[in-house]
Structure 1
């Protein structure tokens, strides 16, 4: 199954177009942090179709923090110098807003504190008498 979830910032204003079949198509660049501080942020093209494309165009602007759920697709494009390049693209299944513009850069509130966990009382093994104190073994079956 091809599935990806990314948390990032809308880096470009969503652009709404129509496919040749008349299906709405919205796309934007999603930016998210690199693993190392010396590396630049990663960027990936995000594309939504149909009703989701209209929602993306109407509800999201540059600077919004979002979680994108979708599938990863690789596209080959021809650059101006004639060379071919592969680029990753995320096709949206769902989009979840996290924060708007400048609000998104504010630190998240601390998680709620949970009450301490009450644990059941410790297990106490039944007392066992030493073998010498055990009654003699009787061969008779009591039933």
Structure 2
């Protein structure tokens, strides 16, 4: 199956249009770092979304947003005005997710992600006489687990048991316990 996941920045505002069958189509351009070399320019790619996803993209994603896009990569031949044909890559979106923070391409060409700033909340004034109930349950404190999984008990040789003299000797070999096989996993 043809599948592609891309970390990119939207460089052209998503454009929503409709087909003759009234199916929504959104097109936009994204750019991404195509190489490990910092001096290489970012690559651009046309991204297309269809149906409900197209309207979601047009409503929720805008130029400058950093996104993770998953979809199918395809090649299309385009007739140029100069009289020759050109092949272009196009990504058909199946999933899109906005990045919470900003990312920048550092000098080594790697992507560094910055966390978004914490939300500012205004303190709620409370009077000492009024108690505000908390609807959050107490979270249990975690304690380290002690487990014996994977620990093989030491094997001791069984001591022979003295047989009373009134028993007749048998021709069967004596029963001895074998060491447990560590690879034997009971199901």
Whose helix proportion is higher, 1 or 2? 1
Label 1:139 to 1:30 Cα distance change in 2 as closer, same or farther (>3 A). Answer: farther
Q: 1:118 to 1:108 in 2, by over 3 A?
A: farther
Q: What do residues 14-70 of structure 1 show as CA deviations (whole Å, max 9, x unaligned)?
A: 011112322111011121112231211121111001111111111101111111111
1:22 aligns with 2:22: yes
Map 1:19-98 onto structure 2 (within 5 A).
Answer: 19-36=19-36, 37-98=38-99
Distance 1:117 1:19 in 2: 59
Calculate the TM-score normalised by the size of structure 2: 0.58
RMSD, aligned α-carbons: 3.1
Structure number with the bigger relative contact order (C-alpha 8 A, sep ≥ 6) is 1
5+ long unaligned stretches in structure 2 = 104-112, 117-142, 161-168, 176-187
* Alignment partners' CA distance in 2, 1:140 and 1:25: 86
Residue-by-residue CA offset, 1:93-142 (whole Å, 9 max, x unaligned)? 1111113xxx5246148xxxxx999785754652569xxxx9xxx98315
* SS state at 2:68 partner: strand
Deviation per CA, 1:52-89: give whole Å up to 9, x if none: 11111111011111111111111101122121111111
Aligned to 2:155: 126
Which of the pair is proportionally richer in strand?
A: 1
Q: Which has the larger radius of gyration?
A: 2
Q: How many residue pairs get matched?
A: 130
- Structure 2 residue aligned with 1:107: 114
